């Protein structure tokens, strides 16, 4: 019996052959073998219990807005887990500046809400097209700031360990540049942030300036934001630009002509073209500058991924 049938037999409401690549911001790539949307913490615990009861390991992928992943055209031969917005996108702000937000809440929405409430420290998040959970897991950042600077604790459930909610302080998460110690079987359920008092009008202006800057300097369309991590004391976009790779195309994928650290996918394009272009850019930068670029984008379902390609 397959793990799909085993989970169904234990009451897990799965969708087989679920859309995955089309749910990412690249909007290319294949399907998942199965997917489940978890409605509340009780359902999360029951899913964890069902996973522990079956004999074979199940590859897991927790997906929020899909803004930092590239899914192979062959898809993902595992279980995709998402959190329902009804119960996992709530937001509370205390008088002491402690803000608690559900993992399914979009980070730009949270940034606008706390800024409107006169709380400073997250205005930069208006330009990050991901969820709170994804931002914690990847220690998302922008405009000189990062989630780890304001994160007080994250509430995490391990689907391989029973699904119970555990509060983990920021210091326990080994937060670094676009990374954390949160594993593939772990789900960020909510997070608490410590913010400072600020002026609503000034914060509103900051929000507007960030949005305007991103519209001017970054492309729209089908992409996942910055593809490569910035090397120490270098900017990946500058290296790619200096290598003459702006506008460089590989099949249905192209290095953005507006921002060299973005790769655009054509409508109806192929994820494998995006992947191949990433590797061509990495090889050229290594050849010209002796710099090994590491990916910010997480690769899903690619069989030939080598060390350093998944950030």
Active site residues: 178, 226, 296
DSSP for 273-289, please give it: HHHHHHHHHHHHHHHHH
**Local structure of 138: helix, strand or coil:** helix
Token duo for residue 21? 């690549």
Give me the helix-helix angle, 107-116 and 200-217, nearest 10°.
150
Give the chain's length: 311
Q: How far is CA 91 from CA 103, 116, 213, 272, in A?
A: 10, 13, 27, 38
Among 83, 168, 100, 90, which residue's Cα sits nearest to residue 134? 83
**Alpha helix (H) ranges present in the chain?**
3-9, 41-53, 85-88, 107-116, 132-138, 200-217, 236-242, 271-289
Who's near 218: CB < 8 A, 6+ residues apart?
A: 225, 258, 259, 262
């Amino acid at each position: 019996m397959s793990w799909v049938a085993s989970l169904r037999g234990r009451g897990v409401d799965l969708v087989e052959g679920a859309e995955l690549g089309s749910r990412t911001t690249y909007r290319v790539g294949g399907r998942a073998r199965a997917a489940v949307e978890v409605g509340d913490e009780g359902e999360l615990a029951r899913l964890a219990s069902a996973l522990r009861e079956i004999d074979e390991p199940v590859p897991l992928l927790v997906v929020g807005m899909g803004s930092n992943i590239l899914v192979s055209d062959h898809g993902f031969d595992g279980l995709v887990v998402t959190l329902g917005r009804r119960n996992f996108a709530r937001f509370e702000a205390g008088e002491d500046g402690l803000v608690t937000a559900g993992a399914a809440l979009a980070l730009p929405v949270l940034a606008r809400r706390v800024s409107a409430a006169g709380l400073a420290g997250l205005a930069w998040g208006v330009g990050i097209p991901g969820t709170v959970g994804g931002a914690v897991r990847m220690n998302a950042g922008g405009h000189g700031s990062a989630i780890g600077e304001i994160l007080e604790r994250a509430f995490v459930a391990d689907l391989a360990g029973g699904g119970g909610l555990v509060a983990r302080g920021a210091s326990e998460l080994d937060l670094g540049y676009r990374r954390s110690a949160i594993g593939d079987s772990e789900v960020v359920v909510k997070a608490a942030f410590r913010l400072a008092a600020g002026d609503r009008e000034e914060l509103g202006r900051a929000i507007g300036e960030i949005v305007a800057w991103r519209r001017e300097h970054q492309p729209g369309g089908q992409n996942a934001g910055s593809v490569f991590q910035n090397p120490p004391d270098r900017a990946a976009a500058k290296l790619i630009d200096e290598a003459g790779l702006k506008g460089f195309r590989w099949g249905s994928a192209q290095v953005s002509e507006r921002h060299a650290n973005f790769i655009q996918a054509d409508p109806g394009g192929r994820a494998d073209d995006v992947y191949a272009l990433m590797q061509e850019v990495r090889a050229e930068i290594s050849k010209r500058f002796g710099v090994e670029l590491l990916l910010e984008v997480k690769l899903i379902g690619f069989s030939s991924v080598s060390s350093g390609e998944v950030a």
